[in-house]
């Protein structure tokens, strides 16, 4: 008696049934932009809530809350649905050098919460590290004399990279390591968030405001770019297809032996 053979279409139906019920993973990847207003002192970065837009040195309405709002736009990839509809309803947590020390792994869940009223993407952005300014190792950084184009500065213990683009204008940049998650481990992504502020004064003026006495601060608008890349975690679908492939090899091997 010939052994019973399972029709090929039964095998395919079984495989596709598993695939349909497995919740195919979709790795998080893409870029989105953000912006808002923030206040900086020697130890904190306070992201301002809606309605607060202080500007300049020692602003009387300087922001000081534990969180603020960030306006998101320009999404690609997993963030392609981010657009003007997100407005400023998304939130971002303020930073403190005591709880988020430089170059030290941290875990700050929901650092950025995407506007939940818009819908997809349902992705949480967590903070994993605040990077120290890249000019810290330069012994000639932070010249405090006359301002000039091309001067650079990362104050000791600071995340900021300050650059004088001219004798009267400057910029500040800082970088964070982040992760993105949608609740499926295989989808997780790691990336960076780069924040930049432009000033109509040289950075010497900004530093003078921060070090001029108790409560010294500087407020400015900022822009940010969040870039996420999938991690190398294999997806469940990969394991499934590998198993199906090995099953096929085994079946072919048995047929050849019988031949």
Report pLDDT digits (tens) over 20-48: 444 455 899 999 999 999 999 989 999 99
Q: Which helix (H) or strand (E) element contains residue 241? A: helix 236-258
| Structure tokens given for 77 | 């990839």
Cβ atoms within 10 Å of 7's Cβ, excluding its own? 8
Helix (H, G, I), strand (E, B) or coil at 141: coil
The pLDDT of residue 12 is above 50? no
| Residue 19 pLDDT exceeds 90 | no
Contacts for 23 with CB less than 8 Å, ≥ 6 apart: 184
**How many whole angstroms separate alpha carbon 136 and alpha carbon 151?**
13
Residue with token string 């050098």: 97
pLDDT single digits (tens) 184-238:
999 999 999 999 999 999 999 999 999 887 889 999 999 999 999 987 545 444 4
pLDDT in the model for residue 82: 84
pLDDT, tens only, 92-131:
999 999 999 999 999 999 999 987 666 667 888 999 999 9
For strands 170-181 and 161-164, give the pairing. antiparallel
List, in sequence order, every residue forming a beta bridge with 115; answer none if it has no partner.
none
pLDDT in tens, 44-102: 999 999 999 999 999 989 999 999 999 988 889 999 888 766 767 889 999 999 999 99
CA end-to-end span of the chain: 16
Q: pTM of the prediction? A: 0.79
Best CA proximity match to 141, nearest among 76, 203, 97: 203
The mean pLDDT value for 169-193 works out to 95
**C-beta of residue 170 within 8 angstroms of C-beta of residue 150:** no
Question: For the chain, which residues make up each domain, given as ranges?
Answer: 27-130+174-198+207-233
Tell me the pLDDT band of 135, cut-offs 50, 70 and 90.
confident
């Amino acid at each position: 008696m010939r052994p019973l053979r399972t029709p090929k279409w039964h095998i395919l139906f079984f495989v596709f049934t598993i695939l349909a019920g497995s919740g195919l993973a979709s790795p998080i990847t893409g870029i989105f932009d953000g912006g808002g207003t923030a206040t900086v002192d020697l130890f904190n970065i306070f992201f301002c809530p809606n309605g607060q837009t202080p500007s300049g040195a020692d602003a009387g309405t300087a922001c000081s809350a534990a969180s603020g709002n960030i306006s998101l736009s320009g999404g690609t990839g997993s963030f392609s649905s981010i657009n003007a509809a997100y407005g400023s309803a998304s939130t971002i947590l303020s930073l403190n050098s005591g709880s988020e020390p430089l170059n030290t792994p941290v875990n700050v869940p929901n650092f950025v919460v995407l506007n939940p009223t818009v819908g997809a993407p349902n992705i949480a952005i967590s903070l994993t590290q605040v990077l120290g300014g890249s000019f810290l190792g330069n012994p000639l950084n932070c010249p405090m004399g006359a301002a000039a184009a091309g001067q650079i500065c990362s104050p000791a213990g600071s995340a900021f990279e300050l650059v004088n683009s001219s004798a009267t204008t400057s910029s500040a940049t800082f970088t964070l390591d982040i992760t993105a998650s949608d609740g499926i481990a295989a989808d997780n992504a790691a990336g960076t968030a780069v924040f930049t502020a432009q000033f109509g004064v040289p950075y010497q003026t900004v530093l003078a405001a921060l070090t001029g006495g108790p409560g010294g601060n500087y407020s400015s608008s900022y822009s940010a770019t969040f870039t996420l890349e999938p991690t190398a975690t294999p997806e469940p679908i990969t394991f499934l297809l590998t198993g199906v492939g090995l099953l096929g090899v085994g079946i072919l091997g048995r047929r050849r032996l019988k031949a």
